[in-house]
Amino acid sequence: MSDFIVVAGPDIADILRGDKAEVRDIVASTYRLHDAGDTINPDSYFLRFPHKPDSRVIALPAYIGAGVNRMGIKWISSFPDNLSRGIPRASAVLILNDFETGRPLACLESAHISAARTAASAAVAAEQLCRGTGITVGVVGTGVIASTVLDHLHSSTVDIADVVAHDLDHERVTGFAEQVRAEIGLDVAPVGLNTALKADLVVFATTAGEPYVAADHRFAPGQVVLNISLRDLPPEVILASTNLVDDVEHCLKANTSPHLAEQATGSREFIHGTLGGLLNGTVALPDGKPVVFSPFGLGVLDIAVGSHVMDRALETGKATVINRFIG
C-alpha cells in the first residue's frame, strides 16, 4: 500500500482505443449506480481568472461504490488559447484513492479519460434515443471531443448513414474531416450551421460561453440533440424539447442552457428525467418532441473509467510503479 502508480497519456490512449465497448458498458453501469444512489458526486469546483475569463480549471471529486469502491478527483483545465499554440485546449490528471485506507493509489493523465467518458456517455445516450437506421449526424464544433464522440458512435449500435460538421474555423473543420476519415473511417462533409442542425442526431461540442442558436429555432419531433457543450442552446429551444440530464442538481447551474431555462421559468418542470433513470427503466420518453440530452459531466464517470484504465495498465505492463512513494 506504499506504492504509487503512474500511467502516461499515450498508454492510456492505447488502452481506451482497444476498450471502447467496455468503456461504454462501464459508463452505462455507472449511470445506473448513480441513479440508484450508490455514488457520491459533490459539486464541481471552478477555478476562474478575471484576467483570463475564457480559461478555467475544474476539480471533480467523486466516489463510486459497488464493484469499484474507489474515490478520487479529476483536475482538468480548459485554456482555449492553447489552440493557437498548436496544443490541445484541455489537459487533466486523475488521482485515484483506495476507499478502505484513503491512501492515494495512482495518478493518470486524464484528458484522454475525460474525452472517452464524455464520448461514451454521448454514445450510450444515442443508443437509447436514436430510432431506426440510416441516422444522419450533425456535429457542431470540431475538436477532440467531437472526433472522440464520432469514434464511439461509429463503434456503437447507432446506424450512421452520413456525417456533416460545422465550425467557425473553415481550416479546422477541413482538418477534422480528414482526421475522421483517416482514423475512424467516416466521411464528413463541412456544412453551415443550419444544415448541421437538421441532422437526425445533432452533437454540440463547442467552447461557446453563451447561446448562439436562434431563439426561434425548433428541432423536429424525433430529432436527438447531444448538448455536450451545454451552452449553445437558448432557453426557448430547451423549453420546446423533452429534456434529459445526467444529474439535475449538477446540470442546472453555471448558466448552462437548462440553467438558463430554469431562470427564465422559475421551475424545473421542463426536465423530464435522467439518463440513469432511462437506463434503469424508471423514465419513459414521450413521443412528439425532440429530445435534448444535457450531460454536465459526472466525476464518478472519471473514477469508474480511470479505475478500469489503471487496472488494465497494471495487467499489460503499461503502468509505472513508484515503490515506497508513501513514507
CATH number at residue 240: 3.40.50.720
- pTM above the 0.85 mark? yes
Say whether pLDDT at 88 is over 90: no
Asked if residue 63 and residue 108 are part of one domain, the reply reads: yes
CATH number at residue 317: 3.30.1780.10
CA distance 92 to 100: 25
230 and 256 inside one domain = yes
pLDDT band at 52 (very low <50, low <70, confident <90, very high): very high
Q: Say if residue 269 is in the same domain as residue 307.
A: no
Question: Has residue 119 been placed in a domain?
Answer: no
Tell me, what's the pLDDT at 1? 66
**For a pLDDT cut of 70, what percent of the chain falls above it?**
100
Amino acid symbol at 89: R
178 & 189 share domain: yes
* Residue 18 CB partners (closer than 8 Å, separation 6+): none
Query: Which residue carries 450531460 as its cell?
Result: 295
Q: Is residue 26 part of a domain?
A: yes
- 169: cell is 474555423
In a shared domain, residues 256 and 165? yes
- Identify any residues that bridge with 245 across adjacent strands, giving them in sequence order: 274, 294
> What is the tally of structural domains in the chain?
2
For residues 282-289, give the mean pLDDT: 94
Q: What is the mean pLDDT of residues 204-216?
A: 96
- Does 180 share its domain with 280? yes
Are 214 and 249 members of one domain? Answer: yes
Range of the domain at 278: 131-297
Q: Same domain for 106 and 168?
A: no
Task: Assess whether 186 and 50 both reside in one domain.
Answer: no
283 and 135 inside one domain:
yes
Amino acid making up residue 216: D
- pLDDT band for position 124 (cuts 50, 70, 90): very high
In a domain, 126, yes or no: no
Q: Which three cell numbers stand for residue 286?
A: 414521450
Q: How confident is the model at residue 149 (pLDDT cuts 50, 70, 90)?
A: very high
